[in-house]
Chains A and B, each alone.
Chain A
Amino acid sequence: MTYTNPPTVPRKSATFDDYTLSEIRRAASTGIYDIRGAGAKRRLPHFDDLLFLGASMSRYPLEGYRERCGTDVVLGSRFASKPLELKIPITIAGMSFGSLSANAKDALGRGASAAGTSTTTGDGGMSREERSQSKMLVYQYLPSRYGMNPEDLLKADAIEIVVGQGAKPGGGGMLLGQKITDRVAEMRTLPKGIDQRSACRHPDWTGPDDLEIKIMELREITDWQKPIFVKVGGSRPYYDVALAVKSGADVVVIDGMQGGTAATQEVFIENVGIPTLACIRPAVQALQELGLHRKVQLIISGGIRNGADVAKALALGADAVSIGTAALVALGDNDPAREDEYRALGSTAGAYDDWHEGRDPAGITTQDPELMGRLDPELAGRRLANYLKVMTLEAQTIARACGKNHVHNLEPEDLCALTVEAAAMARVPLAGTSWIPGNGGF
């Protein structure tokens, strides 16, 4: 028997993996950072790492069909004379007309209205499609103030002052030339086809003391009727929530780093902000210390996918959740049925995130009339409504199993964690133990 030296298997670096190598080559070739849509793609501690305990001998469950489990939520009861009354604790997050097609906005409005919840405008003003289809519409007040006007402000059912978003806390919006069509340009008062970079700070206020005055102005303009939300990206939730409340917000929205964006630097999306799971308990703690938990409502977003995520967010103390990426998938985004077209764009179904290029085969993140025409708003709206109903049923299923007649009665004590990280972030014990890592310190 001849004996040859056995070859070593070629070994790729864990540090310099294929994606990293390709990004170095791309940067060297173009001289500009990578821009993409969606939220953080890296693996993060998330709701998957939590489990419900369910009822057993010491707790009694509710029957699925006969015994009621409420899901309604009122947003903005603190100061607004006309708070928002949602049937389900799931809302549609702000996504701009411009980044999304008119048909996609139309479909979001239809689906949300059918499910008894609200949609939210975005960094591009209020489109007629969305206003006409959304029974409840939250009007975002953003640093760019594109399309901001008092007429639409008075048409809105609530106002959301956007301080930041989870994909890029501290960053401004971006919309690249391909998507600045005539209509988008007109709504934003911009030249057609330019690369638009919106501001990262509001043009006429900085900091919580100024924000308090800005909120007062918006309340005066709208005769103290509309609920005022303040949305921040997940970074320092304990302080941000306390300051939003001190500034006079009715509702605080916290968007974790899995929250999506239309277009931002990859380096920003993956490296700035904290996971959604880590945002909730500090935010709730701030509300509790101010005596305002469940009085100033907390909305959590960033990577919410199913009824279990909803139930877990509520159990940790949120009043409602908000979905963006998941809603787009329900409409038809990244559907394997269009795999050939995703391949042609150098991507694959499930990974397509070049939403800023405006070539979305699903007709959602585009302004191209042909592509947009592929999305049937009525059908897509029905799909979204179905999805929202399923999520709600799932959350109710879990709540009933934990013996709750309302999803808001879920508590952190109904949960345990699978990993030490999730236990520390959610401040619930590691499964089978009474150990909450870091308890006592903050």
Chain B
Amino acid sequence: MLAQMLGTMCDRGPDSAGFAVYGTPRSGLAKVTVQSPAPDEAFSGLAASVGGAVGTEVAIERRGSHAVLTVPADRLEAVRDHIRDQHGTVRVLGAGDAIEIYKEVGYPTEVAAVFGLANMAGTHAIGHTRMATESAVTTLGAHPFSTGPDQCLVHNGSLSNHNNLRRTLARDGIRFETENDSEVAAAYLTAQMGQGSSLGEALEKGLDDLDGFFTFVVGTKNGFGVLRDPIACKPAVLAETDRFVAFGSEYRALAALPGIETAKVWEPEPATVYFWER
């Protein structure tokens, strides 16, 4: 379903695409999604190397330039550190109990096909097609951005104070992979939640601290949230039935969903936090 939604949005964002799929968590285990520009080389022996470092068997499942490692949940940080230190060409795109992230440069339908998005299953998922504005068209510059466990963010719009915010967050120890404004938004929310805010509270605070135009969709292990800036020019449509909640930049993206004819369809209000939890 998400693959179809992304396909419809190709002309809005032809440069790159990405998606996050949330599966059902397995007790004691966490998933780490990694990516490499040279996957054949980088992923051979990666599981064994990581397993050696954390002292247990680690499973790896590869999809194209990405792979998902299944590791003990309590050793997530050690895994990240090991990959960073020992496997320079491997980038961690996201990690958590439930999240898997896939993103790549290219036409969205092709990106979705490469990763086999149509056959993935999960409780909820977020996708994005990108028309790059100021930062480079690269794999890491594609959305979603994940800066915290099981968190991810996609963004339509353009922030106007992201450079200052990035510097502030970097001073607080947050690492950035790109020059992208949306990554700053993701990191900002992660930082807020790291200080104990709920996603809803973090989004509320974001209204004060994030300047510019945005429609955000944010995913967590349990659900997803939507927020538009107070001016609310960038498009957003929500659809809700008793079976699903769906978000799109245009109705077009939602048109093929089952039961859309009778769904409650509306546009989110400016500066209002919407949140659904399972």
Contacts and interface: CB of A to CB of B under 8 A. Distances in A.
A246 B11 CA distance: 10
A243 B234 contact: no
B235 interface: yes
Nearest to B158: A207
A236 interface: yes
B247 to A, nearest CB: 16
B131 A246 contact: yes
Interface in B24-68: none
A336 to B, nearest CB: 45
B213 A209 contact: no
A61 interface: no
Given A207-B158, A239-B133, A212 B233 contact: no
Interface in A200-247: 201, 206-210, 212, 236, 239, 243, 246
B138 to A, nearest CB: 14
Given A236-B134, A243-B133, A212 B235 contact: no
Nearest to A202: B233
Interface string A175-217: 0000000000000000000000000010000111110100000
Interface of A: 201, 206-210, 212, 236, 239, 243, 246
A212 B156 CA distance: 15
Q: Is the interface of B mostly helix, strand, loop or mixed?
A: loop
Q: Is the interface of A mostly helix, strand, loop or mixed?
A: helix
What are the 3 A-B residue pairs with the smallest beta carbon separation, nearest first?
A: A206-B233, A209-B12, A239-B134
A212 B235 CA distance: 14
Contacts, number: 30
Contact of A243 (B12, B131, B233): B131
Contacts of A210: 235
A207 B14 contact: no
Contacts of B11: 212
A207 B134 contact: no
A207 B234 CA distance: 8
Contacts of B12: 209, 212
Interface in B143-162: 156-158
28 contacts: A201-B233, A206-B213, A206-B233, A206-B234, A207-B133, A207-B156, A207-B157, A207-B158, A207-B213, A207-B233, A207-B234, A208-B133, A209-B12, A209-B13, A209-B131, A209-B156, A209-B249, A210-B235, A212-B11, A212-B12, A236-B134, A239-B133, A239-B134, A243-B131, A243-B133, A246-B14, A246-B15, A246-B131
A201 B157 CA distance: 14
A169 to B, nearest CB: 14
B37 to A, nearest CB: 20
A208 B156 CA distance: 11
A197 B134 CA distance: 30
